[in-house]
Structure 1
Amino acid sequence: WWSFPLGSVATLVMSSLYYRYGGWRKQRLVVPAETPASAAAAPAEAAAAEPIGAQHPVG
């Protein structure tokens, strides 16, 4: 039964150290801008990758 409190304490220590010293604050959640060549090819690639992208609604 010691595994539950020791595991919780270990998790607390590791997550606190990651919060304090981890590099997560420096990372950005920004999508890079597309170039014009890749933007033109994107619809064809999307249609090839997703079968539903090639279908057209009827009616």
Structure 2
Amino acid sequence: MAAPRKYSLELRERAVRMYRASDPKPQIKRLAAEIGVHPEALRGWIRRVRGRMC
């Protein structure tokens, strides 16, 4: 059985949308602190979305 997710899917999607909508792009560390997630988690979500778009 998989471990429960720490962050909801809605939070993940909202965080990536916030990052992508920002111009200029914010520092991941700063945005992560604003929304209350770990910076490496946010970085991973952004990378996954970029990978699907390419």
Q: TM-score, normalised by structure 1?
A: 0.27
Higher-Rg structure is 1
Q: TM-score, normalised by structure 2?
A: 0.30
The higher-RCO structure (CA 8 Å, 6+ apart) is: 2
